[in-house]
Each structure stands twice: as structure tokens, then as C-alpha cells.
Structure 1
Amino acid sequence: MPTSTLPPTVAAHLPTGLLIGGAWRPATGGATFPVADPGTGQVLFDVADATAQDGLAALAAADAALPAWRSTAPRERAELLRAVFETLVARTEDFAALITAEGGKPLAESRAEVAYGAEYVRWYSEQAVRINGLTRTAPSGANRQLVLRRPVGPALLITPWNFPIAMITRKVAPALAAGCTVVIKPAGLTPLTTALFAEVVRAELADRGLPTGIINVVPTSSSSSLVEPLLADPRLRKLSFTGSTEVGRVLLRGAAEGVLRTSMELGGNAPFLVFEDADIPAAVTGALAAKMRNAGQTCVAANRFLVHESVAKEFAAGLTEAFDRLVVGHGAAGGTTVGPLIEERAVDRVEQVVAEALDDGARVAIGADRPRRPGWFYAPTVLTNVDPESRVVREEIFGPVAPIVTFADEDEALTMANSTEFGLVAYAYTQDVGRAFRVADRIEAGMLGINRGMVSDASAPFGGVKSSGLGREGGEAGLEEYLESVYVAI
């Protein structure tokens, strides 16, 4: 199988089975499914295809390992995570090559993702020893109040394909820091990076004489058949999911029966607001960062560019020029700045929403075509004169397309920005401090970038409002998602 873009040490030793109870093994029945390079369409590896039986075996392993892990000293948990962080940093090139091979993003972006993902491990290695309780005298003076914090229990972590190391570290690291054990269901499109990360953790646990059943991995081609029995099992106490709102709603219904703790990071439709007093060159730079990471395939990608009518022409010209300098190609090729979309149907969908926008009167400033080359590519595209009711504005694009819509004043801009069921992130460019705070007060989003196109940070809470999710990942809040409080009256 073609693995030429991977270092030989990675290709030769990459686990492609299921990790259950500390051992890599084939799926029950021996079934596999292929993982392809989206830059070529060629299969990289065949990966074990977990069944419902395998998922329950993984949960049994996590449940069995829980007593020992939750009683492990916080310092020991912290040192384990610190060692995993150091390994991630030391093996940056291995992980980056694997992310590029199965996910398609340019190597520079993959390296940045490894650094970003590793920061979650470092942050929670430091937080593992800072799980605080409470002791005080009751207001009545009749007794003392003691509040203890303890791990919620075995957690099911379901991750998306677009950030295969960052999405897993920001779930696994706080779970392990809190004393929880985990079953990971990685995305079927990019399970290889998860496997390599899990092997790093497994090896570190084994070296320290800790139960290796703390971390379990069950990739599958049929998510519902694996996940549904797990949600129905009383041993599972926590569900963390990153993905579409549609799937999130299904999972929430499944989690309700067992009254599971849930964290949901769901879809977005991020507005990028450019006010009349904005620094336009800075806004163009920020727009490029907010839109084009992973070819626009991120939940925090700017989806709608809402620009004041007085600067719309200047902004569109600057963004078009910036897009024209982008280099589309295989992520492993030198000089590539925009890689492929993840699969062919993703290209089909982007092509369709752009065509509908053109039918609605939009004009093409650049792009709007499908390059003739192997793999699944779509050209970086800027659209002007876009109808606010077009599908390209109303729905999450998940591709390299920037639709520009104009507004007349601040109230109209915020009304447009909030006119969606989603509320994950928003961006705003203005040099008016008062306006920045007014936007922060009124925007219906869980995160806001002012004069910057990137908001994510391991030490800050990541998550949305409305149909964009529940709970937070990152920062102190991310650890809280894996802890429960026990009140003792003395």
C-alpha cells in the first residue's frame, strides 16, 4: 500500500488494530476498512473495523482500570501527561507527516497542529495537581461543609477528522488528569493519528506499571452500531463529542437514557465582521487565517464575511489578492499552502453551494472551480454581491470559499451575525474600543476574536452556545467536564 509520504519508522510500526485493555488486536470477525490519502485518493492502510462487541470490550477494560487510575496520585498522573507531551514534541515530524497523509493539510499546518495539540497535554499535566475541593463552616454554624471532587467515570470520546491530534488531546488529556478512563471512537477518515497517539500513551503507562486499559481505541466504519450499545451501558458515565449538530442531537438523545454527563462541540456558522474603521490589511490577514486553515475545513472557520459597505470593495480586493497567492497542492509537497478537501463528496457539496450562490446573483472574484488533478481539491474562492439568504451564507461551508455580504451600520451587522441557530465563534475587526465591547456584549457566540483570526488556546475555554454545543474544552473549564462534586456535611 502506498505510504511514501510517511517516514519509514512511522509506516512500519503504525498500529492499525483496536487498542483494548492494553493490547492491539484485530476486530471481532477480522473486518477492516480503508484509510485514503485525500491528496491522491490512494489507500494508505486498512484499519480494524470495530464491532459493537469490540466497543463493549473496550468499555469493560476502561471500567476495570478505573479504580486503580482514579486512586493514582495526582502528581503521578501529571508526570505521565508531561512525558506524553515531551514525546509529542520530540516526534513532531512523525505526527505531522501522518496528519498530512490521512488528512491532507499542508505540512506546516500539521506541525502547527501537533504543537497546538501538545499544549493541551502540557496544560492538563499542570492542572492534574490543581483539582480543588472546598471546606467551610455552614452559615448556620451547625456543621462543616466539605466538597470533594472525583472523576465521573469511564468516558466515551468521539472525535472528528479535521484535527486528528488536537481534537483527541483536548479530550484525553483532561480526562486522564481528572482520573477518568477512556474509550476513543476516532473519525473513520483519520484514525491513524489517534492510533499513534494512543500507542504513545499506552507505552508510557506500561513503562510506569500503570493499568494500560486506561486508554482504549475502537475505530469503526459504522459509528451508530458501535456507539448505541455503549450509550446504553450503565458503566459509561461521560460522553464527549465533536462533530455536526445533526449527529450531536442524536447522541444527546441516546445519552439521555443513562443521564450521562455530556460535552458537545458542534457545528458553526462563524461571522467575520469588518467595520468601517477597521485596519483593512490587518483584516485581510486575519480573514486568511480564519478562513483557510485546513482549506476551510474547521468548525471555527470564518463562514460569512460581513463587511461595511464603505470598505467592502477594498476588503474584497485585498482578500482576492491574498487568495491568488495561495498554492494548492498535496500537503506533503513543498510550497503548498492549501491542501485537498477530505473526500470527494465534500468537493461535490462545496461545488453545489457555490453554484447556487451564483444562481442567486453572486459574482466570482477568484476561484469557483475544481482543479483537474488527482485527489479532492477545490480552488480558493471569493464571492462578492452575495445574497444573505443564499445557502453559502446560511450553512457551514467547510471548504475554501469566502462569501462577502455588506451591511450599512453596526446594528444591522450584529443582527446579521446573530441570525443563525449556531453560535460557536465570531470575529470582528474595528479600531473602536467601545464598539469592540458592544460586539462582545451582543454577539451570540461562545468565543470572539477581536482584531485576530485565531482564538483557540489550550488554556482558554473552547465551545459554543445555541446549536453549537454544550460544555467547554480547554482551560480550567475543560477539566470540570470530567469531575463531579460530592458534598459531605460534618
Structure 2
Amino acid sequence: MAHTLPPPVPGTHAEPARPAPRHADTLERARQTLRTRAHWSPYSEDPEDPRSYGPGAREAGEAAFRALLGREFALGQPGRDGTVGPAPETGGERSPYGGLLEVSYPHCDPDVLLPAMQAALPAWRDAGPRTRAEVCTEILHRINARSSEFAHAAVHTSGHNFLMAFHAGAVHAQDRGLEAVARALEEQTRMPASALWRKPMGDGRTLSIAKTFTAVPRGISLVIGNSVFPAWNAYPALFASLATGNPVLVKPHPAAVLPLALTVRIAREVLTEAGFPADLVCLAAEHTGEGLARRLAVRPEVRLVDYAGTTAFGTWLEDNARQARVFTSVSAVNSVLVESTGDYRDMLANLAFSVSLYSGQLCTSPQNLLIPREGIGTDEGHRSFAEVVADLGGALAELLDDDARACGILGALLGPAVRDRVERVAAGAAGPVAVPSRAVRDPRHPEAVVRTPAVVTLDADREADRAVLLSEWQGPVVFAVAVDSAAAGVELVARTTRECGALSVGLYSTSPQVEAAMERACAEAGVMLSANLMGDWYISQSAVYSDLHGTGMNPSGNAVYCDPGFVTARFHTVGVRRYGGSI
């Protein structure tokens, strides 16, 4: 039977210690930025910034990370009934760069853990939106101070290079978390907490009713992490749910537990210091093959589920976790139409970096490059389809010819499925290989599997080729697809987005008509369009507080980081009316 939450009753719970509003300015600036969509962040992107992180922060972070290895990760959660890890066969983590982390985590009985989380809810609910936002921002502040430690954890669980790990695995994830907190505060305070309602009665009297409005959380929030970007994908949900009053149970991917375990530990510490139950945030580590996410997702106590990962499991959650509001961010096939350009060399350099970054394992990585079969117009004259493909290969070679530099861009391949996909592509399983992938040796991590992108040529008119390009090929592979015309390319982008889902579409064109057609197609299909990106901004990047991640309009998922709907679905508003008489 589904559990329902009792309505808030003032005075029922002892008042917790209220934290001093030390983050009021940060929260207000974040709220303002959500309205203006301007550039801003309270978290420095420079891992060597001594003003933000102190001298020697990178080395100190690595030392802190290594101090966690080979040890038990204590959390003090109720219901402990075993240990997860440290070996992969028992749920432990293996670094994509080689070696076991050998960290063991507590395994907790849901029948004990979930009731403890429910018991923690009333005091947190009654604290109100502003106090919750302040506590959440303090959690993020503490996490930010340890960004280098988080970055090293992301390197060795997700295969990022250090700078990407520092950005996507630390400060940009923190930005996404703060964005969710600010959005939650904005939406919960949009309605006044109290109002005095007066109605003239027509006989000289005025009817008076005092009203209060309380944001009431839905219940326990289950956040199911992934191995690619565990923090970046989890923080919007974690902090949106927590800021709206919901306890949060974090179920990390078995291959990437550490970044989220650190997050949970810090959150529990801050909550305790602020006078709230630590069990508002808990970790659910699982044994190998346990299938814990499936079991937890259908528990009646779980009222919110957030998931980033495969379409198959996202669909399973939507079909089976009927008692919960399910948010998904799943597979995507991202396309770029190359029709013409006013800066051919810059375009090639931008595309080469975009398809290389993190070996094409980003959810926003471009996969299909659509090129008119008759070629494109450029500032260097006409270029045929074959010349564009060859020149892209040259740009990739120039970018990745030095192994040390290449490793800093590519990172390591995440797991056996990606490595197998690379081998299949090399053997011609996807189509003719125009630019082969090459093995890169990481001088610091000789066990890491690092590959440059392969460029495969396809023809949109061939049925077998369409089946390939209408599937997700996560990893270092890009398809150069011949299309009949710019209009055919626009139509194929729309079809791919509607059928497969997409998080990002790119366009290179000097034609206002082509740009307008693509803009209409993307609006109808529901995907963000990036036109003529050059220099140091790439299609795979997302500016927090400014860009929305996802639209909820295509099969890539229904979650949007971070529009109002992402937080308003996590609470309801309950009103109380008190008759004040008539005068």
C-alpha cells in the first residue's frame, strides 16, 4: 500500500538549530542568474586557484583520494547488513586506468533504512524552503572545497582526464546542484507563505480569512547514478529533491560509487551540524548482480526516481515504478549538419575536438556528421564530401598526434562494452572506415585503453546505413553521412531526434534559409540547436544557469536540467484557512 505523508502541523516537531544565512548572497545571485541566463559561477574552474582551493590543492586532493583507497568507507547509516566490495566480483570498483580502488562500502537493509529516512522527513519539511536551501548550499560549499579530491575520484571511476574530471566531476556538477537549489527556492516561494483574504460582503461587513501555504514534499527520492558522470547527472536530482524537503537515497553505479559516497558523507555531516537527521541523505551500495535499483524503485516509500543511463532501463522504470514520479535522461544520437562555412579550418578544429573529447562517451557527443554528397561551400572554395572527410581526419591527426596531449583529451575507454564496440568498428561492422582509430599509450597509466576516434562513411540513402546511424554508438566513432541536400539533412536530423532522441544538434551553414529550416525542425522535434560554433566552445558543452540540458520532448528523456518542472514535481502546496470573522 502506498505511504502518504502527514500534513505539516506547526509546533509538532522541535525546532532544529537554524544555520546562519551565510549563503544568502550566493543563493540570491543564483536566482538572478536563472532569470538573466548570464555567465556566473561561485566555483572556480581552475584547480590551481589558491584563492579558492588553497596552495597545492591538486596534490592535496590526490593525497586525500589515495587515503580512501583500500579502506572501509564509513557512513553510520542504519540497517547495515554487510559490506560491498572491495573486489569487482563483490561490487568493488576498478579504475579504467588500471588497478582496483579496494574501497568497501556498507550494505544496508532497505526495510530498516527506508523507515529511518521517512522518520527524518518531518523536521526537514517543517524547516521551510529557505533553511533547506541554506543547508543545501553549505553542503555544496563543503564539496567545492574538496573539488580536487572529487576530481581524482572521477578520474579513477569514470576514466576522465584530470581537467575534465575537475570540471564535469566537480565544479560543474556543483553548479548544477546549486542551480537546482536556487530553482527549488524560487518555485517554493513563488506563492506567499501567508495571506489575509478579505471579501466585502455588500452590507458594510468584510469577511476575513487568514491563509497559510506550505510546500509539502512527496517522499523519499531515489537517485540512480551512472558510471560516466556520476556527480554531474546525480546532483541536479539530489539537490532538487533535498531542497524541496524530500529525503534522498543515492544508489550509485557499482563501477562508480566513490564520488557519490563522498557526497553522501559530506551531506550527512552538514545536516547533523545544522540540527537535522543525517538519514535525510543515505547511500545504497549494492552487491554484484543484486539488482538493487529495480527493487528500490518500486518500493511504496519511494515517491521520486531519477535515472540517467540506458533507454531500456529508463523505460522499465517508467513502466514499473508507477507509485513514483520518474525522471529520465537516457540514450541520445546527436547530429551535426555541415552545409557550408565561413571558416573551414576553425570548423574542422572545433569538430575534431568535439568528437574526441572523452572519447565520444559524453551524452552530448556528436555522432552523425551529415554532409551533402555534392560537397560544401567554404571560405577556401568548394570541398567535396571525400575532401571534408579527409580534412577532418587531418584535423584529428593534428589534434591527437602527441600521445600525452591525446590522453588529456580522450581519457580512457570506460568499460568492456565500449572497447568491444571500437573493435567491431575497426573490423568494418559499422561501415567503411575512412579514418581509422589508433591506440594511444598513456605514459602515466600503461594499462588504460585509449583510442582516437574512427571516422566511418555512410550513405543516408542505403537502408543498412540508416539502421547504423539511427542507433547510439557510444565511444570513439563518428559517422560521416552523405545526404542528398541540406533539406535532406534537416529532415534526417528531425527523424533521428524523433526516433532515437537527441540532446544536442549542430549546424554549420552560411545560409539564413538553411539555419531557419534547422531551427524550425529542432523546435518541433524538441532539441537544442548550436549554430556555427567556433573557437573554444563546443557542441558537447552546456553552460550551467544558462543552457537547459534536455527538453523532455524527445526520447532522450523527460528530465530537463533545470527548468521549473524539474523541481515543482517534487513538492505539493497545502493550504490552511482560518476564519477571522467579519467586521
Which residue of structure 2 lines up, in the alignment, with residue 116 of structure 1? 172
Which residue of structure 1 lines up, in the alignment, with residue 280 of structure 2? 214
Q: State the one-letter code of the partner of 2:553.
A: V
Residues 320 and 384 of structure 1: is their aligned pair in 2 closer, same or farther, counting only changes over 3 Å?
same
Measure the CA separation in 2 of the matches of 1:143 and 1:439: 56
Which residue of structure 1 lines up, in the alignment, with residue 531 of structure 2? 450
How many equivalent pairs are there?
474
Q: State the one-letter code of the partner of 2:83.
A: G
2:261 to 177, 195, 212: 195
Describe how 1:226-265 pairs up with structure 2 within 5 A: 226-256=292-322, 258=323, 260-265=324-329
SS of equivalent residue, structure 1 residue 241: strand
2:571 to 474, 483, 487: 483
Which residue of structure 1 lines up, in the alignment, with residue 105 of structure 2? 48
Q: State the one-letter code of the partner of 1:119.
A: D
Measure the CA separation in 2 of the matches of 1:350 and 1:147: 56
Q: State the one-letter code of the partner of 1:212.
A: A
Which residue of structure 2 lines up, in the alignment, with residue 352 of structure 1? 424
Counterpart check, 1:469 vs 2:542: no
Which residue of structure 2 lines up, in the alignment, with residue 436 of structure 1? 515
Which residue of structure 2 lines up, in the alignment, with residue 374 of structure 1? 447
Q: State the one-letter code of the partner of 2:153.
A: L
Contact (CA 8 Å) 1:65, 1:214: kept in 2 or not? Answer: yes
Contact (CA 8 Å) 2:453, 2:477: kept in 1 or not? Answer: yes
Q: State the one-letter code of the partner of 1:101.
A: H
Q: State the one-letter code of the partner of 2:367.
A: N
Which residue of structure 1 lines up, in the alignment, with residue 126 of structure 2? 71
Measure the CA separation in 2 of the matches of 1:349 and 1:49: 34
Measure the CA separation in 1 of the matches of 2:111 and 2:530: 41
Deviation of the 1:295 alpha carbon: 1.4
SS of equivalent residue, structure 2 residue 313: helix
Cα deviations by residue, 1:110-162 (Å, 9 ceiling, x for unpaired)? 1121221111233234334322454899xxx9999997643222110111111
Residues 281 and 223 of structure 1: is their aligned pair in 2 closer, same or farther, counting only changes over 3 Å?
farther
Deviation of the 1:29 alpha carbon: 3.5
Deviation of the 1:269 alpha carbon: 0.7
Which residue of structure 1 lines up, in the alignment, with residue 395 of structure 2? 322
Provide the TM-score with structure 2 as the length reference.
0.72
Which residue of structure 2 lines up, in the alignment, with residue 404 of structure 1? 480
Counterpart check, 1:36 vs 2:106: no
Measure the CA separation in 2 of the matches of 1:283 and 1:251: 40
Q: State the one-letter code of the partner of 2:515.
A: A
Gaps of 5+ in 2: 1-58, 86-90, 202-206, 377-384, 534-538, 579-583
Q: CA RMSD in A?
A: 3.5
Deviation of the 1:330 alpha carbon: 9.8
Measure the CA separation in 1 of the matches of 2:147 and 2:76: 25
Residues 68 and 36 of structure 1: is their aligned pair in 2 closer, same or farther, counting only changes over 3 Å?
same
Describe how 1:119-134 pairs up with structure 2 within 5 A: 119-130=175-186, 131-134=188-191
Contact (CA 8 Å) 2:158, 2:228: kept in 1 or not? Answer: yes
Contact (CA 8 Å) 1:143, 1:489: kept in 2 or not? Answer: no
Deviation of the 1:392 alpha carbon: 4.5
Contact (CA 8 Å) 2:403, 2:441: kept in 1 or not? Answer: no
Measure the CA separation in 2 of the matches of 1:65 and 1:272: 48
Measure the CA separation in 1 of the matches of 2:111 and 2:554: 32
Measure the CA separation in 2 of the matches of 1:200 and 1:77: 15
Deviation of the 1:297 alpha carbon: 0.9
Which residue of structure 2 lines up, in the alignment, with residue 339 of structure 1? 411
Counterpart check, 1:167 vs 2:245: no
Measure the CA separation in 2 of the matches of 1:366 and 1:433: 35
Deviation of the 1:441 alpha carbon: 1.9
Contact (CA 8 Å) 1:18, 1:25: kept in 2 or not? Answer: no
Gaps of 5+ in 1: none
Provide the TM-score with structure 1 as the length reference.
0.85
Deviation of the 1:488 alpha carbon: 7.7
Deviation of the 1:8 alpha carbon: 2.5
Measure the CA separation in 2 of the matches of 1:59 and 1:18: 20
Which residue of structure 2 lines up, in the alignment, with residue 416 of structure 1? 492
1:23 to 44, 68, 76: 76
Contact (CA 8 Å) 1:328, 1:338: kept in 2 or not? Answer: no
Which residue of structure 1 lines up, in the alignment, with residue 148 of structure 2? 93
Measure the CA separation in 2 of the matches of 1:243 and 1:209: 35
Deviation of the 1:335 alpha carbon: 6.3
Contact (CA 8 Å) 2:84, 2:286: kept in 1 or not? Answer: no
Residues 100 and 23 of structure 1: is their aligned pair in 2 closer, same or farther, counting only changes over 3 Å?
same
Cα deviations by residue, 1:40-90 (Å, 9 ceiling, x for unpaired)? 2x111243374xx62343322321211111222322222222223333332
Which residue of structure 1 lines up, in the alignment, with residue 330 of structure 2? 266
SS of equivalent residue, structure 1 residue 67: helix
SS of equivalent residue, structure 2 residue 408: coil
Counterpart check, 1:57 vs 2:112: yes
Residues 198 and 29 of structure 1: is their aligned pair in 2 closer, same or farther, counting only changes over 3 Å?
closer
Cα deviations by residue, 1:146-184 (Å, 9 ceiling, x for unpaired)? 976432221101111111221121221211121111111
Residues 119 and 449 of structure 1: is their aligned pair in 2 closer, same or farther, counting only changes over 3 Å?
same
Contact (CA 8 Å) 1:120, 1:458: kept in 2 or not? Answer: yes
Percent identical residues: 21
Contact (CA 8 Å) 1:422, 1:465: kept in 2 or not? Answer: no
Residues 281 and 31 of structure 1: is their aligned pair in 2 closer, same or farther, counting only changes over 3 Å?
same
Residues 296 and 424 of structure 1: is their aligned pair in 2 closer, same or farther, counting only changes over 3 Å?
same
Deviation of the 1:216 alpha carbon: 0.7
Contact (CA 8 Å) 1:188, 1:219: kept in 2 or not? Answer: yes
Contact (CA 8 Å) 2:368, 2:480: kept in 1 or not? Answer: yes
